[in-house]
Amino acid sequence: MKQITRTVWVLSLVSLFTDSASEMLYPIMPIFLKSIGFSIVLIGILEGVAEATAGLSKGYFGKYSDTLGKRVPFVRVGYALSAISKPMMVLFVFPLWIFFARTIDRFGKGIRTGARDAILSDESTPETKAKIFGFHRSMDTLGAVLGPILALIYLYFYPEDYKTLFVIALAPGLLAVASTFFLKEKTKPNLKGSKTPSLLAFVKYWKVSPIDYRKLVIGLLAFAIINSSDVFLLLKAKQTGLNDTSVIGIYIFYNLIYALFAFPIGIIADKMGLKKMFVIGLSVFAVVYFGMSVNTNLYGFIGLFLLYGIYAAATEGISKAWISNITSKNDTATAIGTYTGFQSICAMIASSMAGLIWYKYGAGATFVVTGIATIAVVMYFIFYIKTSLFRK
């Protein structure tokens, strides 16, 4: 644990508080949206538009952070926007307002992501990248355990009182913002001047980025375009007959597995190779989606969400660790922001397509199509990406 610096701890606690707020709402979000008249297609479009907004802002503000040579202001503002967006969701139930409030939340995520991940990268070495990112993901996901537990307790005493939960979620969000004031900006030379970058300046980075970076990101984006929102997994559980308590309980279980495995898997990945661990994670994902297409009982969902937690632990933090290992330190926020920006746009497409396939052909078809496409992505990583790229 000696590699876990004070800065990493602070950022991890900030993420823990923020995820406690966000994930308090995430498992009941589709239920709430359906209760105010949103169809499955509209839910898919909402999630897609929100992620696209996050995507464009991640790329832009990642580039902006590198240009200014500053990180903390982006982190602070980003978390603040996400905090205030929670109660905004229930001020009105008009679709346009819901879209606006949800977009503010994702916009905040876009502002902070590149800068935050650049700080984490600066606090690690190439040999400990997966470990540091894994620790952060563990703490972040611990919040995703605490949040739904609070939601579960509240709904036990006040069934279907979803709106009040959105107001309660403001509290941990404000704790996250307060925690950001313990971060200190580490002075770094401003090598690129202070000129404000254009909105799509991060796209230019793609053209001049290392070839290894582009090969990696192409594979990551191929997966992102078929990896729809977790909302669909929860809707499948709900559709099968599970009550609200069981759906939230399974989601808590998934996040607990994710939180427990992210840090040790990061340590193992640093030793065995990031490519191997990522391929294992994708393979587990495919198994989960094939299983989701046919499962109809609670115990099956428990097993599938256990595997889903392992998949998340073996892929999410590791992908950013890869990127930071094969790009210049001065471009870290831009490189990660560019990837996560394109990833969010792909997520918009993935969620919208998943909603349409579900609507026209049913839940089973949605999961089978995704499972088959994931196998193709696994083949890309096995045969096209060189292992040496990820062992620095």
DSSP codes, 98-125: HHHHHHHHHHHHHHHHHHHHHHHHHTS-
Q: Is the pTM of this model over 0.75?
A: yes
List b or e across 10-41, with b for residues whose CB sees 16 or more CB atoms inside 10 angstroms: bbbbbbbbbbbbbbbbbbbbbbbbeeeebebe
23 vs 290: CA distance, rounded Å: 25
Asked if residues 255 and 141 have their Cβ atoms less than 8 Å apart, the reply is yes
Give the model's pLDDT for residue 193. 53
What is the tens place of the pLDDT at every residue in 208-251? 888 889 999 999 999 999 998 887 888 888 888 888 778 878 88
Query: What is the model's pLDDT at position 61?
Result: 87
Low-confidence residues of the chain: pLDDT under 70: 1-2, 27, 48, 51, 187-202, 387-392
User: What's the sign of the alpha-carbon dihedral 207, 213, 219, 221?
Assistant: negative
Contacts of 163 (CB under 8 A, 6+ apart): 32, 90
Q: Where do the H-state alpha helices sit in 170-297?
A: 170-179, 201-208, 211-224, 231-240, 244-272, 274-294
Looking at residue 392, what is its pLDDT? 39
Measured between alpha carbons, how far is residue 123 from residues 8, 18, 70, 129, 213 in Å? 7, 21, 15, 9, 21
Q: Residue 391: what pLDDT?
A: 41
One-character DSSP codes across 149-173: HHHHHHHHHSTT-HHHHHHHTHHHH
For residue range 161-199, what is the model confidence (pLDDT) as tens digits? 888 888 898 999 999 999 999 998 875 655 555 566 666
For position 390, what pLDDT does the model report? 44
Domains identified in the chain and CATH numbers: 8-183+202-390 (1.20.1250.20)
| CA distance to 18, 95, 302, 336, 340, per residue, from 110 (Å) | 14, 22, 32, 11, 9
